[in-house]
Amino acid sequence: MAVARFQNQAWTSFIADQAAIIREHSSAPISSNMTGLVGAMDWFAHFGSCDCVGASMYADRAHYAYNLPRMDRLRSEKNRPFWLLETAPNWSAGGRTWNIHMDADGVRLFSWLSTLMGGEMVLYWQ
């Protein structure tokens, strides 16, 4: 438990320091990337110094059960729409454990679902 607390405090401090540096030079909104539902990570604290919440998600029609709870979580972190910072319109390049191919209909449907669940931006990788 002490290790998890230390990691959370270190990440929260790191993100806040980076956000402060960016704000000195830019008025662009700042986000960070929630990479999964890592149990011990305090994403609410991490996103405290960010303007909006963001995440990478790879999904297709067969993977809604994995990503719908993540979108609900993103929506609850801030009082503004979340950003889908990375998704792939083809192979996910996740290696042996998560290398799925997204067909065009699945990607289109997932992108609209992200918007309907409270997102305002979808960025495509590859």
Beta strands in the chain (DSSP E): 33-34, 54-56, 82-87, 119-124
Q: What pTM does this model have?
A: 0.78
pLDDT the model gives residue 96: 62
Give per-residue pLDDT as tens, 11-36.
Answer: 999 999 999 999 999 999 999 888 76
H/E stretch holding 14 reads helix 2-25
Measured distance between the N- and C-terminal CA atoms of the chain, rounded to whole angstroms: 38
Q: Can you say whether the dihedral through the CA atoms of 26, 88, 64, 34 is positive or negative?
A: negative
Give per-residue pLDDT as tens, 101-117.
Answer: 677 787 888 888 889 99
Q: Which of the four pLDDT bands, split at 50, 70 and 90, describes residue 94?
A: low
Q: How far is residue 109's CA from residue 125's CA, in Å, rounded to a whole number?
A: 17
Q: Helices 104-116 & 64-77, crossing angle to 10 degrees?
A: 30
Question: What does pLDDT average to over the chain?
Answer: 83
pLDDT the model gives residue 60: 65
Q: How far is residue 46's CA from residue 54's CA, in Å, rounded to a whole number?
A: 11
